[in-house]
Amino acid sequence: MDYFAGVDIGSTMTKVVIVSDRIEVSLIGPTGPEHRKLANRVMEEALDKARLTFEDLTYIVATGYGRINVPFADRQITEITCHAKGLHSLLPSVKTVVDIGGQDSKGIKIVNGKVMNFVMNDKCAAGTGRFLEIIADSLGVPLEKIGEISLTAEKIAAVSSTCTVFAEQEIISRLASGEPIANLLAGIHDAVATRVSSLVKKLNVEADIAVTGGGAKNIGLVRALESKFGRALLVPPEPLITGALGAALMGKDIFAKYMAEGQKPTRSVNKLEEATFFE
């Protein structure tokens, strides 16, 4: 049996998926400043969980923001391509992906599992998970609760500032003037959804549309996005791993291509060695 691993080093989370003819294991851990060390640790845990050794892996693809810092990977591919690949394997009807990550958001247009076009917001925290983290912190609400709380709002308290810093100030002053937290959270989700949907709409959006990344775990944000796109959005069972899954599947495709050409690819690194960012 051949096993293929995908490692997605995002700005806040590191994800590993190992596939054979099915998904063997998926694992999520936090990303820290020492990407390499964390990548090793999450990979070790994933291998343990799958009862495999590093030598059992046939090909490894790294993706995500920190993909260059995965010394044991055989190939680096961007998260745009890997998200498209991973999502297509889970939800083949999807033609547009909205990915809301920790420090960027992006839209991807897919044709037959391949990227046709993409847009990214990596210039501004507004429209990213970081924005929601800061607001949740200001309101003293756990991040994982803000989506559900926002759905209990009586009305959407419009947040006019699009800058994270000024939005935080606006929220604090609105809170002081007695605006309920739920209404403010609904306003914040509406603001993020407006920003992200206007970015993604540059792609000439086609249905089905799916949401991935940490933002997809926030039901309040998903509902707000649905209102902007005017339709129900699909969310994969584990929206954080689509990039890592896509990376593993890309590795499988690369391996198959090599084999079809009568070549067996050799692994670039055969041992998971301890490495740090500071060496």
Partner 1 sequence: MAEEKKGRAVATSTAAKIPKFVRGNLSATLKAKEEGKKVAAAFIADGQDEIMRAMDIVPAWGESFSGVCAAKRDAEKYLQKAESDNFSRSLCTYATCNIGFDMMREELGGATPEGAPWGGMGRPDMMLGNGQLLCDPRFKWPQATQHYQQDVPVFVTNMYYPPWDPNADHHEQEAIYVKYATEELRETVKFCEKITGKKMDWDRLAATVELSDKTWDLFIDTYELRKHIPTPMDTGDAMNTMVPLTFNLGTQEAYDFYVDLNAELKQKIADGVGVANPEKYRIIWAAGLPSWFALGDFQYFNGKGVVFPVEVTYRGCEKIERLDLPKTNDPLEHIAWRWVRYWTHWYDAAKKRPGSTPKVERIIEYIEDYKCDGAVFHSAFSCRSWHAGIMQQAATLKKVYKDIPILIMEGDIVDISSYNEADTHNRIDAFIETLAAYKKRQG
Q: Which residues in this chain contact partner 1 in the complex, by CB under 8 A?
A: 65, 77-81, 104, 111, 114-120, 122-123, 202, 204
Q: Which residue has the tokens 């039901």?
A: 219
Query: Which is nearer to partner 1, 64 or 215 (by Cβ)?
Result: 64
Query: Which is nearer to partner 1, 120 or 219 (by Cβ)?
Result: 120
Work out how close the CB of 115 gets to partner 1 at its nearest, in angstroms, rounded to a whole number: 5
Parallel, antiparallel, or unpaired for β 3-9 and 57-63?
Answer: parallel
Work out how close the CB of 243 gets to partner 1 at its nearest, in angstroms, rounded to a whole number: 12
Query: Which is nearer to partner 1, 78 or 161 (by Cβ)?
Result: 78
Work out how close the CB of 81 gets to partner 1 at its nearest, in angstroms, rounded to a whole number: 4
Query: Closest Cα to residue 183, out of 142, 225, 139?
Result: 139
Query: Which is nearer to partner 1, 22 or 123 (by Cβ)?
Result: 123
SS3 label, residue 128? coil
What are residue 59's DSSP bridge partners?
Answer: 4
CA 245 to mean position of chain CA atoms: 11
- Angle CA 277–29–242, to nearest 5: 105
Work out how close the CB of 209 gets to partner 1 at its nearest, in angstroms, rounded to a whole number: 19
- How many other C-beta atoms are found inside a 10 Å radius of the C-beta of residue 124? 14
